[in-house]
Amino acid sequence: MADPERYTLDTSAVVAYFENEPGADQVEGILRRARTGGVEVNASFMTFMEMLYRVWNRRGEEEGKAAYLRLKALPLKRVEPNERLLVTAARIKASHPLSVADAWIAATARITSSTLVHKDPEFKALGAEVAVLALPFKAQQRQWQRHSTK
């Protein structure tokens, strides 16, 4: 039996899914296939933190925690920090103009040999280092996205 396809969801892909933005249908299809075991879907520990703090910052603690619980309920494999992930994230951050959070997320895709699903033009800098599935980019960034730590 062949290995299942693998994906890593960037925080922007999760937001697209939760807020029914362009590309939500693609994320929904991936998650539907994950529920049946057809694909493996990963998410960095950083995606969980970003969802919690961004929604908390924008809509309050209660909604932030609710978004976090919704994310935990998805058919995702949460990838926690370890030495290999740390070194890979550091190498990516040292070599590409990405935020620290994006470097962790890209490293997650790299070490899990998965396709990074995102809506973030910043990931174009990765070139061929990580396979990507770019969802439609938004013309304007959300105000809460500008609060990301670079």
| Residue range 61-120, pLDDT digits in tens | 999 999 999 999 999 999 999 999 999 999 999 999 999 999 999 999 999 999 999 999
Residue 6 pairs in a beta bridge with 40
pTM across the whole model = 0.88
Looking at the predicted structure, is the pLDDT value of residue 139 above 90?
Answer: no
The CATH number linked to 62 is 3.40.50.1010
Beta strands in 4-70 (DSSP E): 5-9, 39-44
Structure tokens at 9: 């969801």
- Position 3 scores a pLDDT of 55
pLDDT category, 4, cuts 50, 70, 90? low
Residue 27 CB partners (closer than 8 Å, separation 6+): 9, 13, 14, 16, 17, 117, 135
Number of domains making up the chain: 1
- Position 137 scores a pLDDT of 87
Looking at the predicted structure, is the pLDDT value of residue 42 above 90?
Answer: yes
Q: Which domain holds residue 113?
A: 5-147
- Residue 130 CB burial class (10 angstroms; 0-12, 13-18, ≥19): buried
Mean pLDDT of 3-24: 93
CA distance 128 to 107: 13
DSSP 3-state percent helix, strand, coil across the chain (nearest 5): 55, 15, 30
Mean pLDDT of 124-131: 90
